Structure 1
Amino acid sequence: MTAPCPCGSGHDYQACCGTLHAAYAAGQGLAAPTPEALMRSRYCAFVLDLRPYLLASWHASTRPAAIEPPEPGLKWLGLDIKRTALQDADHGSVEFVARSKLGGRAHRLHETSRFVREGGEWFYVDGRFGNGPEN
């Protein structure tokens, strides 16, 4: 049975973010080839509650000690990538909107996330809410 990838790419999960999650679970590290691919795989990890993947893909300089489990009833509704940019070979950003619903209320997270590549692997560094200019 196939299922669409929660990241909204239009691909099957196993052929999209599932390959990145599986590579990490098999001890092969973070395999995302671009900041956008990492962003999409992180969104999927939130949808699927893959907290170990989220922590591993978070840069050590800004990584929290733990990620709380999702609130009961939280439903992720979709991801919309607004813009991606590479500042250089090892720095990138992704502006996105992630939609969710909790307790009958719709929520919208609009963020521009920063990514860095170290040792050939992309990591999420931090994000700025809204769509203002980058620092």
Structure 2
Amino acid sequence: MGGMPAAPASCPCGLPASYQDCCGRFHRGEASAPTAELLMRSRFTAFATGDTAYLLRTWHPTDRPARLDPDRRLRWTRLEILSSTGGSVIHTEGTVRFRAHYTERGRPGEVEEHSRFSRLDGQWVYAGVVQ
């Protein structure tokens, strides 16, 4: 996995579980995120741990980039889920509004986004930003 940081003990997504038992199982391919919110959390954790393969695998192919080059100066530190619509085990579409916190060169910052998710072949995928 060259260059990826070591897996954290507690999950960066903010849920009260270890990385191995929480988002790690999705990253390892042992399970698929059952809801849009859990996919959002697992994607945040993939940014935090440098798992670009998972990010690409869970991106809708319509607008998935050919490759990702994450900014190594950013350290993703905390995720806040602000709201969500749909996205449950019975839905085929959903949205999640979130705020992702980071530090860059010791300075805190945040990004807020309202993301769309859809099911593709039964799996939740990131489908872009709500316009």
TM-score by length of 2: 0.86
Q: Distance in 1 between matches of 2:53 and 2:42?
A: 13
SS at match of 1:40: helix
SS at match of 2:43: helix
1:90 corresponds to: 92
SS at match of 2:78: strand
1:34 aligns with 2:40: no
Q: Distance in 2 between matches of 1:118 and 1:64?
A: 17
Any gaps of 5 or more consecutive residues in structure 2? 1-7
Name whichever structure is richer in helix by fraction. 1
Structure 1 residue 104, shift from structure 2 partner = 2.8
Q: Distance in 2 between matches of 1:103 and 1:51?
A: 22
Structure 1 residue 14, shift from structure 2 partner = 1.0
Mapping 1:56-135, distance limit 5 Å: 56-72=57-73, 74-86=74-86, 89-128=91-130
TM-score by length of 1: 0.83
Q: Distance in 2 between matches of 1:15 and 1:95?
A: 24
1:18 aligns with 2:19: no
Structure 1 residue 70, shift from structure 2 partner = 2.5
Q: Distance in 2 between matches of 1:91 and 1:97?
A: 20
Structure 1 residue 10, shift from structure 2 partner = 1.3
Tell whether the 8 Å contact from 2:48 to 2:77 is kept in structure 1 after alignment.
no
% of aligned pairs identical? 40
Measured on the aligned residues, the alpha-carbon RMSD in Å equals 1.8
1:19 alignment partner AA: R
List structure 1 segments (4+ residues) > 3 angstroms apart after TM superposition. Answer: none
> How many residues are matched?
122
Q: Distance in 2 between matches of 1:120 and 1:7?
A: 23
Any gaps of 5 or more consecutive residues in structure 1? 129-134
Tell whether the 8 Å contact from 1:21 to 1:41 is kept in structure 2 after alignment.
yes
1:69 alignment partner AA: P
